[in-house]
Structure 1
């Protein structure tokens, strides 16, 4: 699967608030929620992974199906934060009232952000999760545990971070990655790490602004495809 590739760095946005203040008008509020994804979200996750492959120019490597994602990400034995985990970012023009906790290990994070202009989403219909409450998916982050022998602590590895095009540069990518980092701190983990394509300077700048160190001395090594399958035929 492709390495993590977030949207370009967000422009400054107002601090999230729960309503208008005496000093500024309400503007255009967008209500956001980060929650644990479930198997029913796979169609939306699959479409976003394909959009990410297009962005990364790696569609020739894209072979995931809804069925394969469901069986690997949401197996009956999978436990959030101790296996593959997906945070889903949902948005709505209305306050969230369907507070459904899909797993007791994580309470959905709800915020409202005031924007200068409304967001036009040409794909809204195909990314709707709750048409009654006008809720749609704006992005996701997929991560899983790893381990540092130097720290003698587990950590999280972020495989994918993606925000749909019309929602970029609003701070949503930072919200998703920050939620992973907060969960790592909550669990006493030692680090959160990921990789970035060397040509994606917007992503590199975004990560550096979040305080991440870009490790120039490390290179990713990967066995996949025929090279990996060859080991299945050796003694």
Structure 2
């Protein structure tokens, strides 16, 4: 009688399929704003006024922004007067461009979920089906203690759907890098005391929150009264 054949080797257990999380890539670019960006800048400032509960102080128009930010007579070069950097977001990479005064800064971000932008059509920017997601506006000031110029950031704003994703850090870093490149001594700005998210963000960026300083401001009728003297 023939010997029984050995039993077949056990079938290897199937390797479980590995499900990778969906990755949604967005490309960000920071560039110098131009006069053609004024409509977007105006809408961003209005959204910022709504967020800061200060719409009663908002009186800027596209015309007044255009004439003061981008004057046609004797314009000053960027970074030596009021300067605006725009943050744009695109689902595709931005084309390589050069600018003698400020080469655009680009970076890619990966998210587990797509970002829903309800105002995408209002902030559409060409090319690449990009949208304007935020801005930073700043201008030179001077420190007598350091005997060096610096930058004062008047506004830094990212639209709500793009917050807490690294885009604000990208904007602030762009201003700080430019100040360091130019040999400036500091970058300053103010923050509303109730905006705890912004305060925490700035502290994580390495900024000191100076509790002992208070803003003094002359504006409106109080300022105009001096014109009569």
Which residue among 95, 99, 104 is the counterpart of 2:100? 104
Question: Using the alignment, how far apart are the partners of 1:38 and 1:52 within structure 2?
Answer: 20
How many pairs are equivalent? 208
Match of 2:217 in 1: 222
Match of 2:157 in 1: 162
Q: Deviations over 1:51-78 (max 9, x none)?
A: 0000000000000000000000111312
Bigger shift: 75-84 or 154-163? 75-84
Question: Using the alignment, how far apart are the partners of 2:77 and 2:64 within structure 1?
Answer: 18
Match of 2:190 in 1: 195
TM-aligned CA deviation for residue 225 of structure 1: 0.1
TM-aligned CA deviation for residue 25 of structure 1: 6.9
Match of 1:133 in 2: 128
Could you list the runs of 5+ residues in structure 1 that have no partner in the other structure? 1-23
TM-aligned CA deviation for residue 146 of structure 1: 0.1
Task: State yes or no: 1:44 paired with 2:25.
Answer: no
Instruction: Give runs of aligned pairs for residues 64-83 of structure 1, distance below 5 A.
Output: 64-76=60-72, 77-83=75-81
Q: Deviations over 1:37-94 (max 9, x none)?
A: 0000010010010000000000000000000000001113121000000010001001
TM-aligned CA deviation for residue 27 of structure 1: 1.0
Equivalent residue of 2:89, what SS? Answer: strand
Q: TM-score, normalised by structure 1?
A: 0.86
Question: Using the alignment, how far apart are the partners of 1:201 and 1:213 within structure 2?
Answer: 14
Question: Using the alignment, how far apart are the partners of 2:162 and 2:208 within structure 1?
Answer: 26
Question: Using the alignment, how far apart are the partners of 1:50 and 1:86 within structure 2?
Answer: 16
Q: Greater relative contact order (Cα 8 A, min sep 6): structure 1 or 2? A: 1
Question: Root-mean-square deviation (CA), in Å?
Answer: 1.3
Question: Using the alignment, how far apart are the partners of 1:227 and 1:139 within structure 2?
Answer: 32
Question: Using the alignment, how far apart are the partners of 2:129 and 2:197 within structure 1?
Answer: 31
**Which structure has the bigger radius of gyration?**
2
Is the Cα contact below 8 Å between 2:116 and 2:161 reproduced in 1? yes
Is the Cα contact below 8 Å between 1:26 and 1:114 reproduced in 2? no
Q: Post-superposition, which runs of at least 4 consecutive aligned residues in structure 1 deviate over 6 A? A: none
Match of 2:89 in 1: 91
